[in-house]
Amino acid sequence: MANVAVVGAQWGDEGKGKIVDWLSERADVVVRFQGGHNAGHTLVVAGKTYKLSLLPSGLVRGKLSIIGNGVVVDPWALVDEIARLQAMGVAVSPQTLKVAENACLILPVHQELDALRESANSGTRIGTTRRGIGPAYEDKVGRRAVRLVDLADEATLQARVEALLLHHNALRRGLGHEEVDGGALLEKLRAVSGKILPYADAVWRRLADLKAEGRRILFEGAQGALLDVDHGTYPFVTSSNTVAGQAATGSGLGPGAVDYVLGICKAYTTRVGEGPFPTEQKNEVGERLGTRGHEFGTVTGRKRRCGWFDAVLVKQTVLTGGIDGIALTKLDVLDGFSEIKVCTGYRIDGRTVDHLPAFAGAQARVEPQWETMEGWEESTQGARSWAELPATAIKYIRRIEELIGAPVALLSTSPDREDTILVKDPFAP
């Protein structure tokens, strides 16, 4: 059986929660490999809604769940989310959840710096969740982070906090804010350490053993490819690599561990926060898509920007993400539109281009080139076979496949996990 990586093929919020949940039933292990508690996955199981930010979706299905070294972990958010799931009847224990001992921690100082930057009147506002993700990754690559394993040794912990605050307190002085009390931060870390250290594990070794046993591993991505720190709409991106290649680095397994990459994308396009959005509809169409699609962020509650499907961008993420097949979600949101537009190309300064350029100035000047397709009046909500879909809806799906250069492997027609049409089983060899 194949191992599968699930990644977002747009700007996140594509409906990965449902798809990962659907696949979790077929997997033995579910692994988070990047991001932090800025992710937001919503699962609906037996009529009960679970909102996850840091924990892998597989926990709800009773599967061994792993938080890899590529994730930055807020220990207090982790403890709270574990308690919230346990209160809903989900079994979460060191037997069902493993956290990479070498994962870097998000501390209150990171959240404070995130908020200070986003609130500043000067500079570029990214539109972050203000949860400290970016500053934590900065400290990771700056080699001054506190890692989970450091909590187990007092001398090491003190040294790591001292090195961290040497940098942060200089920043805070420059921003006109008071310094962080190192002693108070150490006390907070000591208080939480006993609650999360039991989950610490050398997950790279555990995953290698599971792979050798032939267990099916599902790698669960967060955010989307267009928010990738290298391949996204920089600087309006997250601070980690969100493409499938990170599944190997962020879990400790080699690239050969991923056999199939499933990209998730909506039948239209949404984005939260700042940055370019070529197909955005700041009009009645955008409002209608947002209302029908309930487009509000799981983590922040922020209203999402909405627009028509951008085939240029998804084709680009298919290539940068190594995507083998697409799970197309929220097709039912397009029900009732008499005509539907798809972006098939761009013009910039009078020139035709077939991709979104890396230069931010050029991104801002993109003019989408549209193809208009016939819509459908019939409802696609809850369809579980191609025979239940209107002919024009099938035509729309087939055209998307042609434009993005990847087949639709799964089709989602409602938030209910059973309302899914399987075309290609990602776990099948």
DSSP label of 414: S
Q: Which strand (E) or helix (H) includes residue 232?
A: none
Active site residue 41: yes
Q: Which two tokens stand for residue 308?
A: 């028509």
Kindly name the residue from 37, 41, 110, 168 that is annotated as catalytic. Answer: 41
Q: Which two tokens stand for residue 88?
A: 């809903």
Q: Which two tokens stand for residue 134?
A: 């970016």
Q: How far apart are CA 79 and CA 360, in angstroms?
A: 39
Strands (E) located in 79-171: 97-100, 104-105
- The amino acid sitting at 183 is G
Nearest to 81, CA basis, from 179, 196, 172, 158: 196
Active site residue 13: yes
Q: What angle do the packed helices 311-321 and 391-404 form, to 10 degrees?
A: 50
Rg of the chain over all Cα atoms, to the nearest angstrom:
22
Q: Which two tokens stand for residue 388?
A: 């239940």
Kindly name the residue from 13, 21, 228, 332 that is annotated as catalytic. Answer: 13
Nearest to 411, CA basis, from 348, 309, 323, 327: 327
CB 58 within 8 A of CB 52: no
CB 73 within 8 A of CB 99: yes
Residue with tokens 């281009």: 353
Q: Which two tokens stand for residue 332?
A: 């039912």
CA distances from 422 to 322, 378, 393, 428 (A): 21, 21, 16, 12
SS3 state of residue 397: helix
Q: Which strand (E) or helix (H) includes residue 364?
A: helix 360-364
**Longest Cα pair distance anywhere in the chain, in angstroms?**
67
By annotation, the residues acting in catalysis are 13, 41
